[in-house]
Amino acid sequence: MDKKQGNDIALKIAAIYLIIGALWILMSDKVLNFLVQDRSTVTLLSMVKGWIYVLISGVLIYVLISHSLRRVAKAENELLISNGILTEANRKLEDSYHQLAVSQAELEKQYQQALIDQKHIRENEERYRLISEATNDAIWKEIDGKRDFSERWFQITGHTKADLEQMDSWEELIHPEDIEDARELVHCHINSRTPFYQCEYRLKKQDGQYMWIRARGKASFNDDGKILQMAGSHTDITALKEYEHKLHYFAYNDQLTGLKNRLSLFEILNSRLNLNSKQNSALLYIDMDNFKYINDTMGHRFGDMLILKISERINSLKIDHSTLFRIGGDEFVILIEKFNTRDEIEKAAIKVLRLFKSNFDVEGIMIYAAVSIGVSIFPEHGIDTNSLLKSADIAVHKAKEAGKNRIVFYNEPMHKAINDRMEIEKQLRKAIENNEFILFYQPQIEVATGRVSGFEALLRWQSPEMGFVLPDRFIEIAEETHLIIPIGELVLRDACLFLNSLDEMGFKDLSISVNISMIQLLQDDFVDMVFENIDAAQLSPKQLELEITESILMESYEVIAGKLKLLRNRGVKIALDDFGKGYSSLNYLRELPITTLKIDKSFIDTIMGKTRDKSFTDLIIRIGRSMDLCVIAEGVETQEQMDYLVKHKCNKIQGYLYSRPIPEEEALKLISKSVIKMVKEN
C-alpha cells in the first residue's frame, strides 16, 4: 500500500466516523426524545448514550490502531527479511563484479601478450626470411611432420618443390646407411637428451649423386613438453668431407703404393691387440734385400717403380684375414689375424718368398728382387704393438744376417740379444764419464817399400762390468743412441795426439786413419771439430785420414758430399772403407773427393778361393789405381794374399799378417823396429 492509498483510507475512516458521529448525535437524541418523555431519564440515557459512543469509538480506535500497528510490524519484518536478501544479493553481485574485473585485467594482459607475440612472430619471420636469403646454408622448419625448405635448399640439392611433393617423405633422400643415425639423433634431441640436433649425412641430389650435409636443428616445445616445431639448417660440407677424407688418406696411406702405412699399422694393431687379446695375430715383416743398391745404381724413380710392382705382387696374394702395409722405403708388413697353427703362418711367408722367383719388369728392364721375412706372433713374441713389431724387426735382421732371402721366426735368444743391447747402452753412458775407452792402432804397410806408413785407430772399451768389449758389439748401439758423437770426438782427439807424440819422437810422415760414423758427419760442427783437433795436435791436415763407409754415403749424400769437400780442400784425406762389402757404386768414387779405397776383408778372403773372385779383387785394385786412389787391402792374413796383392800392385795392406791392432806402447815399439829395419835395409 502506498502513501496516497493510506491517506485515502484514513480520510474515509475519519469521514465515516464523523458522519456516524454526527448522525448519532442528531438522530439518537430525537429517537430518545421520541421514545422517552421523561427528562431525567432522557438526560441519563443521553449520558449513557454518550459513554457508549465514547466506548465504541475507543474500541474502534483501539482495533484500528492495533491492526495498523500489527501491519506495520509485519511490514517492518518483511522489510528486514527483504533487506537481508537484498544485502546477500548485493554481496554476490559485488563478488561477481570483482571477478569480472579480474578476468578483464587478465584478458587485457593476454591481449597485450598476444600483441607482443605477434610482433615477435613477424620479426622472426622476417629474420628467418633474411637468414634464408643471406646464408649459404639451406634453412628448414618442420611443423606436424611437414618440412619446409628454403630456396637455398632447392638450389644446392637441385630438387624442386614438385619433386618433394611426389615423395612420401623428404627423408627418402638420405643415404640408406646414414638414415638410422640421422633419425636417432633427432630422437635424442626431441627427448631432450641433447641441447640441439646435429648430424652429418649423405643426401641424394637431383642428379642422383650424393652430397654431404651437416644438419643442425632445434625443437621448440609447449608448456606440456609437446613439440611445437623444429627448425634448422643444412650446410653443404661435401668439399670439407673430401678434404677430410684426403687428409685421412694421406695420414694413413702410403702415397706411392696406396697401401696402408706405418701409422695405420700402429692404430690397427693397438686396437686389435687390446680388444681381442685372446686372438692370435702374426706379423710378417718383409724387408727387400739389396734395395739400397738398386736405388743407388738405377736411381730413385726406378726404385719407386720397383716398389710399386712389388707391392702389387704381394697384394695379389690372397692370405685369409690379412692386411698389407708399407711401413718404410722397402719394408712391408703383412698382419695376419685369426689363424690356428704356426704352420699356416709359415706357409703364408713361403708364398710371399715365392712371389720373388720371377723377375720384375720395370720399364722394360727385367730386375731380380728378393726379400727377407721376419715373423713375430702375438702374444708369444710381444703383447703390444711396439714389442711385436720390434720382434719381427729383430727376426728380419737375423734373416739378413743369415744370408737374406729367407724367413726367420723370432725367438727367445734374439730377445736375449735385445737385453744385451740395453745393458750395453746403459754401460756406454757410464763409460764416457769414467774414461773407459782406449785406442788400439793397426799399422798400414806400403806394399812397394814395406814401410809402415801409418795406423788405423780402432776403438776398444775396457768395461769394469763387461770386460774388454770389441767395437762390433757397441758401435752400432753408440750410433743409435748418438753417444758416438762424444765418443767419436774422443777417438779423433786421442788419435791425433798419438800421432803428434810420434811426430815429436821423430817418426815423421806418418798418417793416422780414424773411423767416422754417419751420425758424426751429420753434425753441423763436424768440420770445425775436425780442424780444432788437428790444430790442437799441431798436425798437418794431410796426416789425417777419415774412414767413411758406403752406407754413410747412401743416406745423406748432398750434406755429406759438401762436408767432405770442405775437409778435402784443406788436405784431409778421405778413405772409402769396406769397399765391396756393401753395394759399391763407382759413382761415389767419381763424384766424391775420395783419396783412398779400402778393399773389404771379404774380398781379400776370396783370394784363396776361385779364380773368378780373385780376378774381381784385381779389378777393384785396377779401378782404384786408374782413378788415382790409394788402394788398401784390409784383413790380410796370409802370405798368399800378400803375394797376390803385391803382384797386382795394391798400394797398402793392413792385417794380422803384419800386425793385429795393438795398444799405444806396442805401436811405438813396432814403429821403432820398422824404422830401424828400414834403415838397416837401406
Residue ranges in contact with Ca ion by CB under 5 A: 515, 547, 577-578, 634
How far, in Å, CA of 386 to CA of 398, rounded? 18
Span 420-449, contacts to ligand C2E by CB under 6 A: 442
Nearer to Ca ion, 287 or 578 (CB): 578
Between 387 and 523, whose beta carbon lies closer to ligand C2E? 523
H runs (alpha helix) in 627-660: 639-647
Contact window for ligand C2E (CB under 6 A) among 40-48, 118-126, 503-511, 515-523: 515-523
First to last CA, the chain: 182
Q: How far is the CB of 458 from ligand C2E (least distance, A)?
A: 4
For ligand C2E, which is the closer residue by CB, 212 or 644?
Answer: 644
Q: Smallest distance, Å, CB 598 to Ca ion?
A: 5
**CB nearer to Ca ion: pick between 140 and 526:** 526
472 binds, among ligand C2E, Ca ion, none (CB under 5 to 8 A by kind): ligand C2E
What does the per-residue mask of binding to ligand C2E show for 198-217, with x meaning CB under 6 A? --------------------
Which of 403, 407, 293 has the alpha carbon at shortest distance from 354?
Answer: 407
Note whether 515 binds ligand C2E by CB under 6 A. Answer: yes
Nearest distance, CB of residue 456 and ligand C2E, angstroms: 7
Sign of CA dihedral 549, 552, 558, 563: negative
Among 415, 331, 345, smallest CA distance to 377 is for 345
What is the separation of C-alpha 224 from the centre of its chain, rounded to a whole number of angstroms? 43
> Whats the size of the chain, residue-wise?
682
CA pair distance 141, 233, nearest whole angstrom = 9
Q: Select from ligand C2E, Ca ion, none the partner in contact with residue 445, using the beta carbon and a kind-dependent cut-off of 5 to 8 Å.
A: none
Cα–Cα distance measured from residue 631 to residue 634, given in angstroms and rounded to the nearest whole number: 10
Q: How far is it, in rounded angstroms, from Cα 335 to Cα 286?
A: 11
Distance CA 547, CA 492 (A): 12
Q: How far is the CB of 535 from ligand C2E (least distance, A)?
A: 20
Which range of residues in 19-27, 37-45, 162-170, 514-522 is near ligand C2E by CB under 6 A? 514-522
Binding segment for ligand C2E (CB under 6 A), chosen from 101-109, 111-119, 302-310, 628-636, is: 628-636
Which of 230/492 has CB closer to ligand C2E? Answer: 492
Residue among 76 and 555 whose Cβ is closer to ligand C2E? 555
Contact status, residue 203 vs residue 163, Cβ threshold 8 Å = no
Q: Is 667 in the site for ligand C2E (CB under 6 A)?
A: no
Residues 444-473 that bind ligand C2E (CB under 6 A): 458-459, 470-472
Among 517, 533, 584, 596, binds ligand C2E (CB under 6 A): 517
Q: Which does 442 bind (CB under 5 to 8 A by kind): ligand C2E, Ca ion, none?
A: ligand C2E
Q: Which residues pair with 230 in a beta bridge?
A: 142, 219
Q: How far apart are CA 575 and CA 596, in angstroms?
A: 4
Q: Look at strands 511-515 and 210-221 and give their pairing.
A: unpaired
Report if residue 303 touches ligand C2E, rule: CB under 6 A.
no
Exposed e or buried b per residue across 327-350, where buried means at least 16 C-beta atoms within 10 angstroms of its C-beta: beebbbbbbbbebeeeebbbebbe
Contact at 8 Å (CB) between 230 and 142?
Answer: yes
The piece of 108-116, 250-258, 509-517, 521-529 that touches ligand C2E (CB under 6 A) is 509-517
Q: Is the dihedral of CA 356, 358, 362, 368 positive or negative?
A: positive
Per CB under 6 A, 476 contacts ligand C2E? no
Shorter beta-carbon distance to Ca ion: residue 335 or 457 = 457
Q: How far is the CB of 309 from ligand C2E (least distance, A)?
A: 35
Fill in the per-residue mask, 588 to 627: x = in contact with ligand C2E (CB under 6 A), - = not in contact. Answer: ----------------------------------------
Asked if residues 216 and 169 have their Cβ atoms less than 8 Å apart, the reply is no
C-alpha cell at 535: 790444430
Partner interacting with residue 517 (select from Ca ion, ligand C2E, none; CB below 5-8 Å by kind): ligand C2E
Choose, by CB under 6 A, the member of 655, 667, 671, 674 that binds ligand C2E.
655
**CB-wise, 142 or 634, nearer to Ca ion?**
634
Which one of Ca ion, ligand C2E, none is in contact with 635 (Cβ closer than 5 to 8 A by kind)?
A: ligand C2E
Q: How do strand 365-367 and strand 437-446 relate by DSSP bridges?
A: unpaired
Kindly tell me which residue out of 545, 550, 578, 618 binds ligand C2E, with binding defined by CB under 6 A.
Answer: 578
By CB under 6 A, tell whether 32 contacts ligand C2E.
no
284 with 333: CB under 8 angstroms? Answer: yes
483 is a contact residue toward ligand C2E (CB under 6 A): no
**Placement of cell 774422443 in the chain:** 490
Nearer to Ca ion, 356 or 603 (CB): 603
**485 binds ligand C2E, rule: CB under 6 A:** no
Nearest Cα neighbor of 521 from 477, 542, 499, 551 is 551
Write the burial class of residue 214 (CB in 10 Å: 0-12 exposed, 13-18 middle, 19+ buried). middle
Which position among 348, 394, 483, 491 is part of the footprint of ligand C2E (CB under 6 A)? 491
Q: Which stretch binds ligand C2E (CB under 6 A): 19-27, 387-395, 512-520, 665-673?
A: 512-520
Q: What pairs with residue 548 in β-bridges?
A: 576
8 A C-beta contact, residue 397 and residue 373: no
Asked if 258 touches ligand C2E (CB under 6 A), the answer is no
What Rg, from alpha-carbon coordinates, does the chain have? 61
Asked, as a colleague might, if the bond just before 379 is cis with ω within 30 of 0, I would say: yes
Judged by CB under 6 A, the stretch of 115-123, 173-181, 208-216, 513-521 that binds ligand C2E is 513-521
Does position 475 interact with ligand C2E (CB under 6 A)? The reply is: yes
Contact pick of 382, 443, 624, 635 for ligand C2E (by CB under 6 A): 635
> 374 vs 655, which CB is nearer to ligand C2E?
655
Give the 3-state secondary structure of 262-275.
HHHHHHHHHHHHHH
| Distance (Å, whole) CA 490 – CA 517 | 13
Q: How far is CA 622 from the centre of its chain?
A: 58
Q: Output the smallest distance, CB 483 to ligand C2E, in A.
A: 11
Compute how many residues bind ligand C2E; rule: CB under 6 A: 23
Distance CA 644, CA 117 (A): 110
Query: Which partner, Ca ion, ligand C2E, none, binds residue 150 by CB below 5 to 8 Å per kind?
Result: none
Q: Report CA-CA distances (Å) from 115 to 76, 103, 111.
A: 57, 18, 6
Torsion sign across C-alpha atoms 193, 196, 197, 199: negative
Binding residue for ligand C2E, selected from 381, 577, 607, 630, defined by CB under 6 A: 577
Cβ distance to ligand C2E smaller for residue 149 or 658:
658
- In which element (H, E) is residue 39 found? helix 39-134
Name which of 200 and 637 has its Cβ closer to ligand C2E: 637
Q: Does 666 bind ligand C2E (CB under 6 A)?
A: no
Question: Which residues in 535-574 contact ligand C2E (CB under 6 A)?
Answer: 547
- Chain centre to alpha carbon of residue 585: 43
CA-closest candidate to residue 582, choices 300, 288, 292: 292
Between 374 and 635, name the residue whose CB sits nearer to ligand C2E. Answer: 635
**Chain contacts with ligand C2E (rule: CB under 6 A):** 442, 458-459, 470-472, 475, 488, 491, 515-517, 547, 577-578, 634-637, 654-656, 661
